[in-house]
Structure 1
Amino acid sequence: MPDADERPDAAQVTALPPPLPPTDAAPDPAGLWAAIPAWQWASASLLALLLVLVPAAFALRRRRIAQRVPIIEPPLAHAGAVADDGADLSPVVELAVEITGLSRSLMMLTLDCRLSIANRSPRALRDLSVFADITSAHRTLPADQQLALESTVLPLCDTLERIGPHQTHTVKFSLQLPVRELAAFRQGEAIACVPLLRIRVEGPSIGCRMQTNVIGLANGSAAGRLRPVPLHTPPGSYPDVRARALG
């Protein structure tokens, strides 16, 4: 037994703080998810699709480059010119898409656009063919079934006899996709889709130039980002439609 002198004075013992009052019950997770606006869900879905398609586009491009084996043969008449120092003088082509209209009826989704084909070389481009279609991005399909590739079957939209050196030619066309073929997804009360514009330009002096564009609505202050195309709204035209090239 400890001596009386060794016992702590009760007045010197620090009193423990009173227990905290019980906190409110944790918020219901389902309520938190339901409070998120539907357009944010749709934007997240579009971002998820881009995260899949963009790396896939780069991977497919690297795969095609790696599979190209040089073949020693006489040069073709339309082969790209090569300078004496070995520099490649093949024509440089740039493709730019401008959306002029996107509308939806009960049966069809219609896309109107302009395709600018810029010849950045000092030589004229001749006998070009422009192929294009519109499809719908789907997270369950492989990328090679959604992107514009050399083997992708696309309808012919226009032919060009000549684009002069350092000149640009603009092609206008209208594409349609049945509403029943849209890969729609639902988030909350919203139903949306992500259209894809696939383009291929072919010619004897340029080979194939391919480009896949995501079609969406401008996202206000978020520069470069697009929102999916809503399908739960009444049929009609969509405002502020933009195209963003993949790859």
Structure 2
Amino acid sequence: MTAPAIRVQGITKAFKDLQVLRGVDFEVERGSIFALLGSNGAGKTTLVRILSTLLKAGGGSATVHGSDVATAPNDVREAISLTGQFAAVDEILTGRENLTLVAKLRHLKDPGSVADDLLARFSLTDAGGRRAGTYSGGMRRRLDIAMSLIGDPPVIFLDEPTTGLDPQARIEVWQTVQQLADSGTTVLLTTQYLDEAEQLADRIAILHEGTIIQNGTLAELKRLLPQAKVEYVEKQPTLEEVFLALVGPSAGASTGSATGTNKEASK
């Protein structure tokens, strides 16, 4: 059997008297999206920093892409990329210049071509010549993830990648993450948004007070609770009904409601 892309066994971490991680265990299959779900302060970022070799664990062990994070940190760094909670782009440089700079730092051949390929892959070609500071939140985050993928790392860590983004930008990032997994990249995603984990993850682990309290697929987690029996359902008003109740029925004609338009079309 293929070894997991990430294996975490008994990881602990304390900051003085504060015990943040209390023995974390899980595995992530290659080419899958694994969501680490937890509230603020649950230890998600601390764990990601340990797995990306930025922080030493207090106890336990972890391997990423077959390399031990404690004894072979350089091998781990060659196999991963980390995208933090806030986009790490240079807003003075253009999108293409940001990508070219990272490609040069990674000593890749033809960095300009690498940049152009990634701009096309992330639908940023038309914006490639603009300063990153003019990008929307979703575009800036997509550029940030594109920069993380230079060098084709097999494992990528996304630490709360949609924090502070509007709904449209969140959807753009979700599509990008799904594309990564479809191309064979292993994604470990930390989030505090339930819908994000539900939308993206192949498996979900719930981190609470420093330990994993549940780990499974969405279907497996849903089976933990009995199905609710609904005997009476009260119909909730639609947004259109609320709008008309507030501003009056005459507004329906001025806003071109779908019902009115359809009736006219049928005459």
Question: Is the TM-score greater than 0.5?
Answer: no
Structure 1 or 2: larger helix share? 2
Say which structure is richer in strand. 1
Q: Name the larger-Rg structure.
A: 1
TM-score scaled by structure 2?
0.19
TM-score by length of 1: 0.21
